[in-house]
Amino acid sequence: MYAAVVLVVFACLTDTIHADHHQPCHPPNMTGVMTVITMKGEIKAVGAFTYDSMGKKLRFRSNDSHPTNTSVGLDLLMFFEQGVFYEIDSKNQTCEKKKLDMDLNPLDIPDDAKFHSTITAGSRSIEGEGLKVNIWTGSIPNMKGYYSVSVTMGCLPVSVLYFSESAPMLFSNMEVDLEIKDPDLLLVPSFCLGQPLEESPEGTVNSFIHEFM
């Protein structure tokens, strides 16, 4: 009898643990700062992002006045759901519209991601000195690589590592707020409306991470 009760309790416990990790969570609407670093240690870009989690829309604008030396100046408006994105040049009021060949969204966890582990950055035992994150992993289709996403317990993405032979890259987020401060940033600028889809040269792959390669 006792053994059976223990077994049931244990089964329930493991069930809850499994239930927790069974389905990847999806981050909320956010505004924050994103840094893009190659695994060779080069900081490619630092910029502000705005993310609509339902519409899967992302605006990323690199900040050229940031004190870090960066090599890529970019203003991107990504529509992951529609599979298109815009490269925007606000100064010249021009833009290019391109098809997304790969759905690599650095602010979401793919539905088929596998739960890997929960770790604590900093200290697990000192109150307020640790950041507990869940790590989810999966493979990157067509790139012979894998990704590893870490999110806080409230599903805020801390970092995502895209590991491939060609160009391992780390996207890391900070100063995240749970709101869209300027919804206009997620609208196609008027000077981009009616823009035809750019023909990419044969062999070109377009994705958010390829913009930084």
Ligand X SMILES: *[C@@H]1O[C@H](CO)[C@@H](O)[C@H](O)[C@H]1NC(C)=O
Question: Under the rule (CB under 6 A), what is the footprint of ligand X?
Answer: 29, 48, 52, 54, 63, 65-67, 69, 89, 91-92, 180, 183
Number of H helices, E strands in the chain: 1, 11
Q: Nearer Cβ to ligand X, position 48 or 161?
A: 48
Q: Nearer Cβ to ligand X, position 66 or 116?
A: 66
- The least CB distance from residue 58 to ligand X, in Å, is 12
- The least CB distance from residue 119 to ligand X, in Å, is 28
- CB atoms near residue 11 (< 10 Å): 9
- CB atoms near residue 124 (< 10 Å): 10
Q: Nearer Cβ to ligand X, position 19 or 54?
A: 54
- The least CB distance from residue 89 to ligand X, in Å, is 5
Beta bridge partners of 162: 147, 169
- CB atoms near residue 116 (< 10 Å): 15
Give residues with Cβ within 8 angstroms of 40, minimum separation 6. none
- The least CB distance from residue 173 to ligand X, in Å, is 13
- The least CB distance from residue 67 to ligand X, in Å, is 6
- Continuous H helices in the chain: 2-22
Give residues with Cβ within 8 angstroms of 47, minimum separation 6. 33, 34, 60, 61, 62, 63, 66, 74
Beta bridge partners of 202: none
Q: Nearer Cβ to ligand X, position 45 or 135?
A: 45
Q: Nearer Cβ to ligand X, position 38 or 139?
A: 38
